[in-house]
A and B are shown apart, each in its own frame.
Chain A
Amino acid sequence: MLSKAKLWLSLALSTLLFWSAGLHAAWDLNMPRGVTQMSRDTYDLHMTIFWWVVAIGVVVFGAMLWSIINHRKSKGVKPATFHESTKVEIVWTLIPFLILIAMAIPATRVLTAAYDTTESELDVQIIGYQWRWEYRYMRDNMDEEEVSFFSVLATSREEINNGVEKTENYLLEVDRPLVIPTNTKVRFLMTSADVIHAWWVPDFAIKKDTIPGFINETWVIVEEPGIYRGQCAELCGMEHGFMPIEVHALAPADFQAWYEEQQAGVRQIRELAAAEMTMADAMAQGEQIYNRNCVACHQPGGVGMPPVFPALVGSAKAIGDTAVTMDTLVNGVPGTAMAAYGRQLNPIELAAIITYVRNGFGNSAGDVVQPADVNAYIQEGQ
């Protein structure tokens, strides 16, 4: 919390900033039409209903306004004495009913189409975590390299805390976007590893809850290549506002190239994980990972927010037995917000972040944890 004077100053400054930031600040009044047949149908339905209610509003508010202007005591009118009319009441029960039927018909058609998940060409699993998304591309057989990755907010903490100027895609940018082909029926299978989240991209008119223990499905055919952004729509805890969705739609050939590149990347990491890592490399990579994944809770400088989020500086778990640090990072701490990173980060990244936690913020365990050690730990628990 700021002091009072600071508060007023920041309010005044922000007012100025606000007007100067007019470039970013749009005046969007309506829903996007989007880039799928479903989103356009949804938009059209939205506008149809909107004009219906506007028309009803004009009639009702018009009648009311007319009465207010003309039937006021100051004009010397005598009040009428009528107080019921079965005929009129039947009419204004029936007319709205008919209007509702007119609305329900197109609504039913669009909804039925939204439920048709058959004949998909690509299936992607979407898994919600506090507070990141995981995307896994479904394979035809288990021998193929699995393309799967976590997608984490890329906006820096300095931007959020007003330390530096906010950039165009503030809070809507991720480190690794979901990539899908255009003009292809992509089926999403959604679940969650902890609480309920909701995956939402307005341009696709898709919003679906990800529910722990259950899978939901939906589908999309994106027609235009481009970058589409969305956010988690279901309150999922502290960082609910900070788990955006970014989808890159590529032409099918480009998508195929990207996909093969990812598979090659999986092979490459497998090889690299066998190589030795230096302290300098580990610390540099570790810092990046820390700033992306850890800083929200453990805070810059590893000071934490006790008692909920413990400090890392001088923490026994950080500087004690290597296996304990490794266990904490790989498996998380059950019953707390500390997630298991064993599947979220690859062995190289894990080795780097473990080394960083043990040797950053003035901690001095002194050892460099190697990707091979991490691999051994994950596979054998040693």
Chain B
Amino acid sequence: MSAAHDHHHGPAKGLSRWLYTTNHKDIGSLYLWFSFAMFLLGGTFALVIRAELFQPGLQFVEPNFFNQMTTMHGLVMVFGAVMPAFVGLANWMIPLMIGAPDMALPRMNNWSFWILPFAFAMMVSTMFMEGGGPNFGWTFYAPLSTTYAPPSTTFFIFAVHIMGASSIMGSINVIATILNMRAPGMTLMKMPLFVWTWLITAYLLIAVMPVLAGVVTMMLFDIHFGTSFFNAAGGGDPVLFQHLFWFFGHPEVNIMILHAFGVVSAIIPTFARKRLFGYDSMVYATASIAFLSFIVWAHHMFTVGMPLAGQLFFMYATMLIAVPTGVKVFNWVATMFRGAMTFETPMLFAIAFVVLFTIGGFTGVMLAITPVDFQYHDTYFVVAHFHYVLVPGAVFSIMAATYYWLPKWTGYMYDETLGKLHFWLSFIGVNLLFFPQHFLGLAGMPRRIPDYALQFANFNWISSVGGFLFGFSQLILLFVVIKCVKGGKKATDQVWEGAQGLEWTVPSPAPYHTFETPPDPKLIHAQ
């Protein structure tokens, strides 16, 4: 550190450190803690759902409250837990990975985080308003979310606007950082895949978040200003809502999983002690998935009655996604093949990710087949599919990332025994929770219902047990992280024997300011 620059100080003390911080590591931590809190909140909503579905009949909640639970669970998990977690990881790791001193736009970084808690406070507060909170599902199809919505919908719309603004600012920051702040010698094709997936998804976010903002703005106008974007009475069309929503929504779900690909592509080579297989094709596959995600949105709407030609186009385009996704899975397997593997907690989560995400991918191919989708659509089969992709997919990758980089963040090794316990309980729990839902969907159970016919009782019971097991296992993660922050075995700079990359060249814990002078270009290797 150079003494000539007087702004090179350590962190401020107390609350103001966190309120005013422009340090990428502080903001990363804020995002990650916020995401974990939202994960627990959204998880609590999920447990209310699973408790109600534990057996047939209405036991604990009213149907209207149940609908609020499914809606809030989805919104909180997607916008509150998964997205902020990846922004947190980006904040912490992208500057470290590309040898930059900080994010490109530190003040905007602070702002994009601090508007999030307000957005979620506003959204959750709707549940205490007259008529209750949003009860129309996280996809909020019109006219259920416009003409027939509770009065609190206006606040929901503003909350979505704020979340969107936060995401957009985060994405601008990531793009500016990656384009402008790379250390000398860090060419684009030498960047770690996590940086690549973030660069691509940041562009995706910039393309689709404004469309979401547009959709909710149209809702606002329909509700309050008498327009008829989605109301047939005034010449609008409720199906248009779905087209616009999924034009945002499909890239959005791809965004969540592409980040996860980046994380797993960092972890598997480390613990296989072998370079990532097919780095170039990984980059191209990511770009192809991102491109394809723009032309498949209507596969969420196969039952709305599109013309045959439209159905066929969206079916074929959707099936195509399997190709680049397959390339990724094959590359990970090839990376493990003839490596020298060890199975620390991050690796366990990464392997579970590959297997369970692939299962979610398989059901994805099945769902792409339009005529069969008529049977799967809006059933628990779909619920099982996207939860396999998002929970043992995206969420497991976040957990893997947490264990993987925790020693770098805290300077201490986490408790490996507890980490493995957390993994195995989560693994068993998540499969008990979601695997039987495939059977429920195939047997004919629609999604978003608070009560069900008797033939669905068995698997719902099992699913609920799995849900509680998975849910409560997450408290172990909380414990492990707190324990690791407080102390433990000192971590080395490299932490993991097979770890490669700039982030492992700085001390553990990573000092408050890193790479104020660019790293030695000799440290930058091809991935």
Contact = CB atoms under 8 A, between A and B. Distances in A.
B340 A71 contact: yes
A316 interface: no
B67 interface: yes
B305 A209 contact: yes
With a 10 A CB-CB cut-off, give which of B303, B329, B365, B374 has the most chain A CB atoms: B374
Contacts of A11: 54
B372 A45 contact: yes
Interface in A84-106: 84-85, 88-89, 92-93, 96-97, 100, 103-104
Nearest to B312: A108
Contacts of B41: none
Contact of B58 (A32, A80, A130, A160): A160
Contacts of A26: 443, 455, 458
With a 10 A CB-CB cut-off, give which of A57, A63, A240 has the most chain B CB atoms: A240
Contact of A84 (B148, B279, B304, B378): B279
Contacts of A93: 323, 326-327
A142 interface: no
A236 interface: yes
B238 interface: yes
Contact of A81 (B275, B326, B458): B275
A230 B444 contact: yes
A108 B453 CA distance: 33
A18 B457 contact: yes
A36 to B, nearest CB: 12
Nearest to A45: B372
Contacts of B136: 235, 237
B341 A67 contact: yes
Contact of A216 (B305, B326, B330, B343): B305
B372 to A, nearest CB: 5
Interface in B433-485: 439, 442-444, 446-455, 457-459, 461
A214 B277 CA distance: 52
A89 B61 CA distance: 52
Contacts of A205: 371, 374-375
Contacts of B34: none
A147 B143 CA distance: 29
Given A67-B338, A83-B276, A168-B454, A100 B371 contact: no
A17 B233 CA distance: 49
A57 B315 contact: no
Nearest to A61: B355
Nearest to A241: B449
A196 interface: yes
Interface residues of A, number: 106
Contacts of B371: 41-42, 45, 107, 110-111, 114, 205
Nearest to A159: B57
Interface stretch (A48-56, A119-127, A342-350): A48-56
Contacts of B125: none
A214 B333 contact: no
B374 A238 contact: no
Contacts of A18: 55, 457-458, 461
B370 A100 contact: no
B527 to A, nearest CB: 9
A130 to B, nearest CB: 8
A27 B458 contact: yes
Contacts of B339: 67, 71, 79-80
Interface in A1-19: 1-2, 7, 10-11, 14, 17-18
B320 interface: yes
Given A83-B276, A93-B327, A31 B442 contact: yes
B257 interface: no
A21 B337 contact: no
Given A67-B338, A79-B274, A196-B144, A211 B449 contact: no
A297 to B, nearest CB: 10
A100 B322 contact: yes
A207 B377 contact: yes
A202 to B, nearest CB: 4
A305 B306 CA distance: 40
B280 interface: yes
Q: How large is the interface on B (under 10, 10 to 19, 20 to 34, 35 or more residues)?
A: 35 or more
B308 interface: yes
A74 interface: yes
B192 to A, nearest CB: 14
Interface stretch (A169-177, A268-276, A351-359, A370-378): A169-177
With a 10 A CB-CB cut-off, give which of A21, A166, A208, A235 has the most chain B CB atoms: A235
B365 A207 contact: no
Contacts of B334: 88
A90 B403 CA distance: 34
Contacts of B312: 108, 111
Contacts of A202: 375, 444
Contacts of B274: 79-81, 83
B366 interface: yes
Contact of B340 (A77, A85, A170, A237): A77
A46 B251 CA distance: 26
B183 interface: no
Contact of B239 (A50, A200, A214): A214
Contacts of B144: 195-196, 235-237
B65 to A, nearest CB: 10
A2 B57 CA distance: 14
A235 B141 contact: yes
B375 A71 contact: no
A235 B442 CA distance: 18
A234 B335 CA distance: 43
B458 A46 contact: no
A379 interface: no
B449 A45 contact: no
Given A53-B366, A209-B304, A68 B446 contact: no
Contacts of B320: 100
7 contacts: A10-B59, A18-B461, A42-B374, A45-B369, A80-B337, A83-B278, A198-B377
Given A27-B459, A83-B277, A233-B303, 15 more contacts: A7-B60, A14-B59, A24-B455, A25-B455, A30-B439, A30-B443, A42-B372, A42-B374, A71-B337, A79-B338, A84-B278, A96-B326, A196-B141, A232-B446, A307-B130
Q: Which 6 A-B pairs have the closest CB atoms?
A: A213-B232, A241-B449, A216-B305, A24-B454, A28-B443, A83-B275
